[in-house]
């Protein structure tokens, strides 16, 4: 049986009520989320055993985060309690032509100060079949990057499948290192990568490209460069997103497995209830499809795209859908009929 | 002056805040509703005297339901106070490609256990000109079906016009009887029927058909079968609905009066605030049009369709609109201008 | 440096939660707003010094309004504390085919009873470069109209630029005077006018016209009539609005400066969160563009249209956007991407 | 069977959330209430048929008030729809040493402008056994006072028992008349009066007194003066209240029936959830006791005091308690045990 | 290391906002709780491994309950997914002289229909050191009583310490059996019992007594009878509660261990935020003290009383306090100082 | 005319709804506050011109704080926009025996990193008559302490009266300095000090004392030590607080002016709505009394105590009361009567 271990940061999310601007907020909805954890939640929802490893302050706020992890049926037994604060992000949800707005207040969070030895990766990865991390973690701090590398190496040694979401955030990477200083070493071990091709090449220190996702031939050459630098890579996928407005998105996807390039039908998503975490929903769907022996690659990609679409209709970071709900959409049922 | 008596179940509706999934709910909005009662509310809003008959537990929760009935200016003086519980339904409102979800918890409700003699139909139908019931009530239990038949027979004897909404719910009908065992006897007395033609034939025990609502000729033949089995039928109408997504519906309608078939213009409804009760809004509009001597059948159908459309913009089970508001839409004013 | 002084009424706005009908409201969101004040807020948001002059009751409710004025960085030092009540408006926000609904309860408000001498316009307009008023104020009462005239005359004498939003409301003008009795004298002093051409001519007592905003030649002739009656007029602008539904608007604009007629691209606005105050947002954008020496007239008009569009995505009367946010939209960025 | 008709004003009550000051309120809870209506609600709760007569504006806000009247099972069929606005009161609930605060905005309300003939008292009082009014109504306006007198005279002619709550509010009585100009004529017809003795004498135009409610002998002489001026008086009662703080009240009562003076045990009420309407709860309890043939005067007084105490624990104007709940308290059960 | 397994029902709790009556509720706070589960939560909060076994419907509502169990760090891996509905209780929280009100709607819940074999007690009790049940479970249905007996017998055979809260609810026990038919067999295996002495004797089928908790000698004799009938009993404890009002309770406790009777200081609890679950908080504290080798019996009793007191200040069924917080109170720190 | 300039930190306050524990919070009320700012708000409420100087991040969150400062009529024109984040504190409000809980997340806030020259004290203190700071600011960081000293010295040079609240927080002072290293130099310039005598001596580096506030003679000697070290001191005052429970406080005060010691009557405060900021309310009252030429020292002290008491009844950091409301309490009106 599969068991996925995800490693990364979980943030407190302080969001204004839908569509209110920060300046109008008299209260914030408080939930918790973060790219890697969101993936773990997706997998738990689909029935896959999953575990989340992070570092949280040993106070009531840290406990709240742990309670939310457990509530989602994600293991929390290897979480390190140390550090001064939980990272925070403030969210204002847009509408129509007004985009959503995120303000980070995550510097100096518990995980940014993680120290070697606080996580025993040997124990933490026991029984794991998959390990998931994203490009956000090495972007936080030198310590977090180092911990990520320790995790990846241990996982690789144990023969665990490693999946990575590139997740480039230009507002992070402030500790004196660029992605190209850190990411190539980390991505070497990845078996599965989610991200834009241009982001991958940028992180690998290659020159800037503008991939044409309609031209499979040219894509193929770009994939070749990535494969050269990621010798363990088996599957790379990309979410194709066209943003009509904050309330209307078009979502498709593309998947490459070193032998072929597959595409999924693009779908309209409107209205958008909350698009934060929709990339993580794609990642969760992709990983689930790859884990599930009954799914071929096309079904896997379709599942990832459908999961991503459904996430846009759900408030909060998590894609709170079951496998059956995603499959209904894969099977073409998008009419939103009342289930009764 | 007309007086409509409706008979059926009123449920407690526990709904998550708009678009939240059950799993995210920290509170439920609590309102009350039910197909037949919703029709009574529509009629009261249009100025028709209406009365609702049901059975409710004799406790604070039952009293809450009665208060809501009275608040809507629907008579509550013949309600039976007996039984253990009010039926409940849990509602999660969808968005876009994610449909709404209803979970019923209505077994063993007060009305399911109604006993002969608790309602004195002779008294209850005094002064009534119309009696309304729907296919939900005989689907609840043997007792409820029997009570429905007693009501229908008494109404028929008194020369009261009987309207029926077929309202087939496959999740009900669990007490050992099929619609075809119960409905033919009940529908015999109906003067007005709302429902799909295929549902009508199914309930009458006929073989399965797929009506083509574009082909009036073939429809005509199907109507003939219904008329044969419903000797009192004067008018049959159907809501034509195309579900683009949970947030976008297209609504039209068709009406047959034994001499001709009328159709109404199909309208776009987007966004959908709440589609529960929109069929009842159609029924309420239909009945109002048939009662109002100033409306011809085409205007009646247009009014029913407009009422159904407007309901989708209103939260809760009820179509809280005035006659004037529906007529504005019938007259083509759908631009949603601010009234000030 | 510019300083805009606006004069008018600020109302308490009691709004149902989004999409609820009045009949469903258990609470009202309480905010404050009013056409002229909304313009002052827009200007303060764009960095222009602005001051608001009104009359409010000397009780806790009046104080609440003043606190909200100060919160928006609008000067409140010349507000008169007198009178019995604040004007109120009740708002129910529509959706789709159901329009929003406004119920006024503003008779006998503090400003309706303003008395000569309570405002010292000489002091109040000290340092002002612009004075803004709208057609709502002279519509309230004889006293308010008289005060408006005193303000306009003082401003004109001081060489202050005067801007006017015609803002015709047929439900006001109940004190025995028609617009044509009052407005011509007031508009004589206006340098900038916002409003439909037909409204302007109606207020000036001219015969009814139906301007064709596609036919610049015929427009030109209508503008000539206005200029004849408004000898100080430099710029007249109009919001062009097409209402698809309460949730979907199309917004454009037109501007005339006595030498030429400019038009702005029409934009789709969907969904509409709140359209109240969107005309004031246009006015605020127009005035800002005219004040900003770096803006030419075309950019000014584009800015006004973009401001108007953005306002529709924001709850409440105010256009809570920064200059940078409006300019992003002017520059074509309407995809609503997450800013993070 | 008894039927009580109450006449007076129903106000919209806009209250801050518990304990928030006006300056902190982002929303107001919106409910409806008013002295005479609150009494009608109490009686309906105890099972007495009751009807409320008032004047309300013919708009959505007026309809909301009517819906709330019907919800409480109080008759609304004789309400006049006319006038411009509903009266409003703003409420801030205190705590401890900080008292609650009420701001009235009720001038020029619908009932203040009631015109002779709008209410047909002959029809309205058909079948009534009791008529209830309070000193608030004649304090509103000349029209309201005149209407009150018409009602009282008709009731008296019909042999209906008349109850009056003195309810002196110094902030009203602004239309040029003092209580002593109006009240003596009205009180002449009263059979039952609730109020302080000093208030009664003041309203009757007598010189100021300070009754000592501990000294029955001196009280007796004061009652004599009242009886002289109120020839129909049978029972007069007074709520005895000692206010320890906004959160702690002591409540007792005294009753006089021309032959004797009865007192009820003083009870501690803490915490106070909402004290508005507690006098009306006393009045409702008093009237119920006098109507109920099984209650003697002592039980009647005890019932009124208990009802008043319970009201303090309930939010809103209404005493939402059943007869059984009040009787439990009369019988000494004040321990607040969980009923399960 | 200790591991406590609790067995019983978990209910959906639908509560009005604080102090509102059912009739005023527009929404219900939705949480989950139940006597045995509440004990498991207390123990998990104190750091004891705990597991909860119940039966829940296999739908979204059942999943919500499971998520809340996991959130509290209580094991949910042996929960049976079967049955039609979750039991519900409606709660209205009182204040002062008005008591709280509970309405049960729990008939025919999932656990009431549990069938032999659905729970494998051998597996479920693996590694358990303690098993906890209460008198509510055998009161639900014959099936639940039978399952309880199977659990108790298996636990006893495995040498697991058995604790029981008598929890007599007269509104249950409706399936044709009395406590005396069922409880003696179950209590035979109990090592720890919480409950009033009179309740214990009543359940054991003994004649009615009124224990005087001040007279240790007479108590001693009553304890003897219990011990005779409960041969495995080691410790029996009772919460001593005096209810001044719904907002003010006095809480003490008594403990008997076959050799001596201990008492704890009675404490004032005011205000009461929520008293539901305070008995379970006592039980959780008692069990924790008995498990913790560093606690003697007096400290155990003091800890149970302090836990019970603290629960009254916390909304919801659970005693969300840490061991440290309870110990602070045991140590006399009840001044409620701000911890900062 | 007086003008008070306050300098310090303003924090975002994220509070659970009343009485909920952090673990139960689904949203946080978001307000802003901080010791020195709270004093400025009090003074603005009493009609004194006041200005607040701090450092805030130049983003939407910083703007929200500034808006709240302006809303309270406190000047915000000298605020420095720089730094990465606003300090945050999380608040859980206790009840009865459960105390409130504060979790700080304020490290590395904007003001902690203030740099010399960012505030031009010469300009900032123009027209000021009073300067207020508290012991929290030098406790934040070396930079903040240095800025505080620059402010104090400039103020002293300008002959401005300096008031200081000692406000010792052991959780701060983490940057390598103790109070005794920093405070003596700062306090040298203070004319007015609020704080416990033992805290003052501790901060001045003196040996630990336990003042007996009942023994004026011994107090006198302790005051002598303080005066020796604070050569500019004119008035020192202390809030005397006895905490019965989190819901019940007793508040008194003591004041020393180098010639005599005055005491104020101790008052009961129950229930406590929110005690955060009550010390600042005392400070604000004290300062107001000293500024107001009509107040003698006894009235000043009484005013400070009454202000402190009233604050406990108000949610949030601010003492939102008027001078008139505080004076009512000084004059003995504590019965909490409804003001209507």
Confidence of residue C184 (pLDDT cuts 50, 70, 90): very high
Q: Which chains touch F (3 or more CB pairs under 8 A)?
A: A, C, D, E
Mean pLDDT of chain F: 96
Interface check for F23 against chain E (CB to CB < 8 A): the answer is yes
User: Given a cut of 70, is residue F177 above it in pLDDT?
Assistant: yes
Does the structure show a pLDDT above 80 at D339? no
Is C285 within 8 Å of C8 (Cβ atoms)? Answer: no
| Cβ within 8 Å, pair D339-E100 | yes
Closest alpha carbon to D318 in D120, D15, D31, D27: D31
Q: What is the mean pLDDT of residues F126-143?
A: 98
Task: Determine contact: E67 vs chain A, CB below 8 A.
Answer: yes
Q: Which residue in this structure is represented by tokens 């560093």?
A: E294
* Per-residue pLDDT band at B67 (split at 50, 70, 90): very high
Of E69, E103, E71, E70, the residue nearest E87 (C-alpha): E103
Instruction: Kindly report, residue by residue over E103-115, the tens digit of the pLDDT.
Output: 999 999 999 999 9
Q: What distance lies between CA D105 and its chain's CA centroid?
A: 19
Distance from CA of C71 to the nearest CA of F (A): 4
What tokens does B261 get? 């078939």
| pLDDT of amino acid C318 | 98
pLDDT for res A249: 96
Determine the pLDDT at residue A226. 97
Q: Which residue among C312, C339, C340 sits closest to A96, beta carbon to beta carbon?
A: C312
Count C/F contacts: CB-CB distance under 8 Å: 16
Inter-axis angle of helices B35-45 and B278-291, to 10 degrees?
Answer: 50
A30 - beta bridge partners?
A14
Yes or no, beta carbons of A243 and C337 under 8 Å apart: yes
Candidates C100, C107, C82, C36; CA nearest to C243 is C100
Instruction: Give pLDDT tens digits for C33-67.
Output: 999 999 999 999 999 999 999 999 999 999 999 99
- In chain C, residues with a C-beta closer than 8 Å to the C-beta of A171 are 340
Mean per-residue pLDDT, F237-259: 96
Q: Give me the mean pLDDT over the C131-158 stretch.
A: 98
Please determine, for residue B337, whether its predicted confidence score (pLDDT) is greater than 90: no
pLDDT band at D335 (very low <50, low <70, confident <90, very high): confident
pLDDT over 80 at D6, yes or no: yes
Record: contact D28-C28, CB cut-off 8 A: yes
Nearest partner of D54 among D88, D14, D90, D11, judged by Cα: D11
CB pairs under 8 A between A and C: 76
Mean pLDDT on D291-301 = 98
What pLDDT is attached to residue C128?
Answer: 98
SS3 E305: helix
Q: Which one of C308, C338, C339 would you mutate to disrupt binding with A, by most A Cβ within 10 Å of its Cβ? A: C338
pLDDT band at F336 (very low <50, low <70, confident <90, very high): confident
Judge if the upstream peptide bond of residue B166 is cis by omega within 30 degrees of 0: no
Reported confidence tier of residue F337, pLDDT bands at 50, 70, 90:
confident
The reported pLDDT for the residue numbered E335 is 74
A293 pLDDT band, cuts 50/70/90, is very high
D340 confidence band (pLDDT: 50, 70, 90): low
Closest CB to D30: pick one of C25, C60, C88: C25
With a cut of 70, list the residues of chain E below it in pLDDT. 339-340
For chain C, what is the mean pLDDT? 96
Taking CA A217 as the corner, what is the angle to CA A211 and CA A223, rounded to the nearest 5 degrees? 60
Per-residue model confidence (pLDDT) at position F18: 81
State residue C11's pLDDT score. 98
pLDDT in tens, A311-333: 999 999 999 999 999 999 999 87
Query: Nearest C-alpha of chain B: how many angstroms from A270?
Result: 5
Q: Name residues whose C-beta falls within 8 Å of residue B99's C-beta, 6 or more positions apart in sequence.
A: A335, A336, A337, A338, A339, B246
Instruction: Express each pLDDT in D260-278 by its tens digit.
Output: 999 999 999 999 999 999 9
Quote the pLDDT of residue D81: 98
Provide the shortest C-alpha distance from residue F15 to chain D (in Å): 15
What is the reported pLDDT for F296? 98
Q: Which residues have C-beta within 8 Å of that of residue E293, sequence separation ≥ 6?
A: none
Hey, what domains does chain C have and what are their CATH numbers? Answer: 3-330 (3.40.1190.20)
Distance in angstroms (rounded) separating the CA atoms of residues E125 and E53: 10
If we measure between CA atoms, which residue out of A193, A185, A116 comes closest to residue A153?
A185
CB contact under 8 A, B73 and D70: yes
Shortest Cα distance from E161 to chain A (angstroms)? 27
Say whether residue F63 is in contact with chain C using an 8 A CB cutoff. no
Token pair 């204004």 is found at A16
Neighbours of chain D (3+ CB pairs under 8 A): B, C, E, F
Q: What pLDDT score was predicted for residue C340?
A: 65
Instruction: Return the residue in B13, B33, B98, B249 with the most chain A beta carbons within 10 A, the one to mutate for interface testing.
Output: B98
Tokens 């199977």 found at? E150
- Average pLDDT, stretch A31-36? 98
Determine the residue among D14, D24, D98, D243 to mutate to test chain F binding: the one whose Cβ has the most chain F Cβ atoms within 10 Å: D98
**Cβ contacts of residue A246 below 8 Å, gap of 6+?**
A94, A95, A96, A97, A98, A99, A100, A272, A275, C313, C335, C336, C337
Mean of pLDDT values over F136-142? 97
**Assembly ipTM:** 0.95
Each residue's pLDDT tens digit, D9-62:
999 999 999 899 999 999 999 999 999 999 999 999 999 999 999 999 999 999
Tell me which long-range contacts A21-25 makes (C-beta under 8 A, separation of at least 24): A21/A92, A21/C314, A21/C320, A21/F60, A22/A90, A22/A92, A22/A101, A22/A103, A22/F60, A22/F61, A22/F63, A22/F64, A23/C320, A23/F60, A23/F63, A23/F64, A23/F67, A24/C315, A24/C316, A24/C320, A25/A92, A25/F30, A25/F64
Q: Tell whether the torsion through CA atoms of A139, A140, A144 and A148 is positive or negative.
A: negative
pLDDT score recorded for residue B340:
64
Query: How distant, in Å, are the alpha carbons of A336, B38, B291, D243 from that of B306?
Result: 22, 16, 17, 57
A150's tokens? 């320790």
Burial of A12 (0-12, 13-18, 19+ CB in 10 A): buried
Q: How high is the pLDDT of residue E340?
A: 64
Residue F328: pLDDT band (50, 70, 90) is very high
pLDDT for A340 beyond 80: no
Query: Is the separation of the CB atoms in F272 and F243 below 8 Å?
Result: no
Rounded to whole angstroms, the Cα distance separating C152 from C188 reads 10
**Nearest Cα to C284, choosing from C320, C254, C255, C232?**
C320
- What the block records as the tokens of D118 is 């709008």
Looking at residue B75, the DSSP 8-state letter turns out to be B
- Sequence-distant (≥ 6) Cβ neighbours of residue A266 within 8 angstroms: A240, A242, A250, A251, A252
Look at residue D151 and tell me whether its pLDDT is greater than 90: yes
Task: Tell me which chains share at least 3 CB pairs under 8 Å with chain C.
Answer: A, B, D, F
Residues from chain C that touch F73, judged by Cβ atoms under 8 A, are 67, 70
Its pTM stands at: 0.97
The structure tokens 């005989």 sit at: B138
Q: How far is CA E23 from the centre of its chain?
A: 30
pLDDT at residue F130 in the model: 98
């Amino acid at each position: 049986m599969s068991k996925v271990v995800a490693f990364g940061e979980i943030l407190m999310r302080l969001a204004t009520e839908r569509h209110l601007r920060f300046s109008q907020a008299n209260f914030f909805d408080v939930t918790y989320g973060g790219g890697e954890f969101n993936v773990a939640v997706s997998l738990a929802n689909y029935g896959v055993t999953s575990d989340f490893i992070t570092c949280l302050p040993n106070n009531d706020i840290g406990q709240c985060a742990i309670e939310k992890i457990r509530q989602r049926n994600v293991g929390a037994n290897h979480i390190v309690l140390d550090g001064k604060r939980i990272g925070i992000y403030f969210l204002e949800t847009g509408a129509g032509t007004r985009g959503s707005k995120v303000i980070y207040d995550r510097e100096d969070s518990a995980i940014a100060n993680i120290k070697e030895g606080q996580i025993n990766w040997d124990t933490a990865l026991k029984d794991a079949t998959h390990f998931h991390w994203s490009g956000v973690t090495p972007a936080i701090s030198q310590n977090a990057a180092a911990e990520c590398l320790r995790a990846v190496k241990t996982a690789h040694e144990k023969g665990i499948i490693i999946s990575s979401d590139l997740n480039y955030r230009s507002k992070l990477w402030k500790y004196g290192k660029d992605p190209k200083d850190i990411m190539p070493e980390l991505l070497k071990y990845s078996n599965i990568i989610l991200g834009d091709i241009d982001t991958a090449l940028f992180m690998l220190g290659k020159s800037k490209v503008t991939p044409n996702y309609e031209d499979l031939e040219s894509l193929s050459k770009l994939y070749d460069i990535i494969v050269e630098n990621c010798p363990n890579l088996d599957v790379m996928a990309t979410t194709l997103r066209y943003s009509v407005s904050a309330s209307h998105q078009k979502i498709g996807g593309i998947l490459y497995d070193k032998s072929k390039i597959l595409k999924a039908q693009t779908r309209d998503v409107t209205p958008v209830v909350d698009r934060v975490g929709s990339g993580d929903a794609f990642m969760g769907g992709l990983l689930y499809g790859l884990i599930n022996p009954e799914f071929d690659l096309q079904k896997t990609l379709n599942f990832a795209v459908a999961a991503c679409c459904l996430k846009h209709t759900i408030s909060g970071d998590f894609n709170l859908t079951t496998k059956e709900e995603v499959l209904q959409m894969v099977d073409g049922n998008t009419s939103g009929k009342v289930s009764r």
